[in-house]
Amino acid sequence: MRLQDTLTRGLVELPPPPGPIRMYVCGSTVYQRIHVGNSRPFVLGMWLRNWLRHTGYDVTLVHNITDVDDKVYLEAEKQGIPTRELSDLATAWFFDDTDDLGLGRPDIEPRATDTIPEIIEFVEALLERGLAYVANGDVYFSVAGFSDYGRLSGAKLEEMMAQEESELKRDQRDFALWKSQKPHEDAAWDSPWGAGRPGWHIECSAMAEKFLGEEFEIHGGGNDLRFPHHENELAQSRSLGHGFAHIWMHNGMLELDAAKMSKSLGNVVTLRNVLDVWGREALLVFHLSGFWSKPVDFDDDVMEQAAARAARFRDVFRSPHEPAPEGAWERFAGALEDDFNTPAALAFMHEWRDHELLGRALGVFGLESLAEQAEAPADVVELAERRQAARSAQDFDEADRLRAELETAGWEARDEAGGYRLVPLR
């Protein structure tokens, strides 16, 4: 399998099975219900793990929770509640909402606040090598000491200078590894430099290396994290001689058209709201339809299209099985092996009427439910039997009347060789 790598700007081959493949995906900062856009890296990470395991790889997926950050402090202050209370509540929301995607859980989901000792140890190692410096209780990474800085993101000098301006910095490109406690911050941890809390970037380096080691195969996250977050992760880890991630997968962002969302979701586009309005199956089919590394439009129109596609898959299992042509699975697999091309895989799936093959493919993406068949209640079966008897007696008026009754009850009797098949209309 080969995947597009942001660092080299090219396709990189994974080692042959069984690997191992160790994956780290940057998760959400928990201070409110997560935006639907935050579901994209979660879904892609889970799907890629499923596919790699399906093809014989030993895979470990780490998806972190950022539960200490400026946004958490500011939102807690705004709501007038303790920071830890807010982050615990928002973490529970994150688990509830992503559980409802029906994809299972990553193998490890560390919280930044549970990794404070490893973070402090990481900062101390950078200080010992002269790669960082202490300034009035803060600790900063010295960007000038890492010659490859900017290679991952291609960030320009003016972008680098815009990182949290501070008079304490020796170079405005430098970034915080540890931040001293501020008056409005009600949660802090002891450190050799005084009470405070970690900077955002060091959290992920520490969590990734704690659970996957100093070198691992894949680092994922949204394209908005290329700079400064991932650039800084790479700098602080490789400055210590750690290989860190071999492949950087940056997924494209959701592009929302507020005007086109108004009729279904209004201005609230949280994952919870999307799941409640459209359901998990339509959302997963939507994610399948967009190439993972490209931006994807998100509005009512595309969600209606995704819901219709999900319905077409369900309808395949309500119709007679037709064997797929030889090589069908291999073409599907080839699309996924070539940079995880889910739109191409989706197109192949829509060609199939093979129940076994389609069910197997849907299972890769957590969509097995589309193959499930609802069992008609006894009164509906009785109506269908009476309709069948009327047809046999050539009493077509009565058959039509009973067909209308079935439709009112939400069912259709599809005539086929040897009888009929009951299919729910919704």
- Residue spans of beta strands (DSSP E) within 101-191: 132-135, 138-141, 175-180
Same-domain status, 246 and 97: yes
| Residue 259: band (very low, low, confident or very high) from pLDDT cuts 50, 70, 90 | low
Same-domain status, 310 and 396: no
Q: Are 4 and 249 in contact (CB under 8 A)?
A: yes
| Residue 378: band (very low, low, confident or very high) from pLDDT cuts 50, 70, 90 | confident
The pLDDT assigned to 372 comes to: 80
| Residue 337: band (very low, low, confident or very high) from pLDDT cuts 50, 70, 90 | very high
CATH of the domain at 226: 3.40.50.620
Same-domain status, 278 and 167: no
Q: What number of CA atoms fall less than 13 Å from residue 222's CA on the CB side?
A: 18
Q: 324 is in which domain, residue-wise? A: 261-371
Nearest to 137 by CA among 173, 174, 168, 183: 168
Burial of 247 (0-12, 13-18, 19+ CB in 10 A): buried
Same-domain status, 275 and 133: no
The pLDDT assigned to 364 comes to: 97
pTM (predicted TM-score): 0.88
Nearest to 51 by CA among 327, 294, 338: 338
Q: 């700098």: which residue's tokens? A: 235
Nearest to 4 by CA among 233, 155, 218: 218
pLDDT at 345 over 80: yes
The pLDDT assigned to 264 comes to: 52
Same-domain status, 164 and 68: yes
Cα distances (angstroms) measured from residue 154 to each of 9, 151, 228, 244, 409? 11, 5, 11, 19, 60
Nearest to 60 by CA among 205, 245, 212: 212
The pLDDT assigned to 160 comes to: 76
| Residue 407: band (very low, low, confident or very high) from pLDDT cuts 50, 70, 90 | confident
Cα distances (angstroms) measured from residue 72 to each of 31, 407, 425? 5, 51, 45
Same-domain status, 234 and 314: no
Q: Are 90 and 31 in contact (CB under 8 A)?
A: yes
Q: Is there a domain that residue 256 lies in?
A: no
Query: What do you get for the CA distance between the two ends of the chain, in Å?
Result: 39
Same-domain status, 273 and 415: no
Q: Is there a domain that residue 124 lies in?
A: yes
% of the chain with per-residue pLDDT over 90? 79
Same-domain status, 178 and 276: no
The pLDDT assigned to 260 comes to: 56
The pLDDT assigned to 261 comes to: 53
Our count of domains for the chain comes to 3
Cα distances (angstroms) measured from residue 103 to each of 45, 70, 228, 259, 319? 10, 30, 30, 31, 27
Same-domain status, 202 and 267: no
- List the structure tokens of 120: 């402090």
